Amino acid sequence: MANGSPSSTSASRGARLGAVALAAALLGVGSMDSADADTGERSRYEVLELKVDNDQYKAVDLGPEGPSLGDMDVYSGTAVEDGRRIGHGGGSCQVVRIEDGKRTTQCVITMELERGSLTMQSLWTSGSSTLDMAITGGTGYYDNARGTARYWDIATPQERMRAEILR
């Protein structure tokens, strides 16, 4: 951001990353039981497919003007299923590497849903058309959650997410 307004590159980057956070809210619907052959315990496996609506975004240029280590994108949004808002969340992505004109960011997202929160993280390289995030845990219903969340059409009105959650 220069002089208080994001560059078109920062705005585009932020929009993509903001969409990621919103998609994370997709977690919280549809499940099926499966038996764990090793322990005999039952676990929950859920597949969630949701639309992401981004609502807030800020590009923070911390170093010299332009892309540099430490720059951040901060965002929030809403997860939508069948036209109904089912949660909200937010996160940030911080630049951790710049090489050959591409930025690699460390992204962390937390989503609040009716039954608890869900956390995710990953590295994302600018220009990638999809983003896969590790589900790293949660609270309440999502205590000890793990799995993968994939985002498509990041930072567009068509952004969507598919989460495969094991808890």
pLDDT digits (tens, 9 = 90+) for 135-151: 999 999 999 999 999 98
User: What average pLDDT does this structure show over 19-44?
Assistant: 44
Which of the four pLDDT bands, split at 50, 70 and 90, describes residue 42?
low
End-to-end CA distance of the chain: 40
User: What average pLDDT does this structure show over 20-28?
Assistant: 39
As a whole number, the mean pLDDT across the chain is 79
User: What average pLDDT does this structure show over 32-40?
Assistant: 43
Looking at the predicted structure, is the pLDDT value of residue 11 above 80? no
User: What average pLDDT does this structure show over 44-66?
Assistant: 89
Sign of CA dihedral 6, 7, 12, 17: negative
Q: Are 24 and 149 in contact (CB under 8 A)?
A: yes
Phi and psi at 166, nearest 5°, equal -115, 130
pLDDT value, residue 8 = 41
**Comparing C-alpha atoms, which of 1, 15, 22 is closest to residue 163?**
22
User: What average pLDDT does this structure show over 37-60?
Assistant: 78
Predicted structure pTM score = 0.73
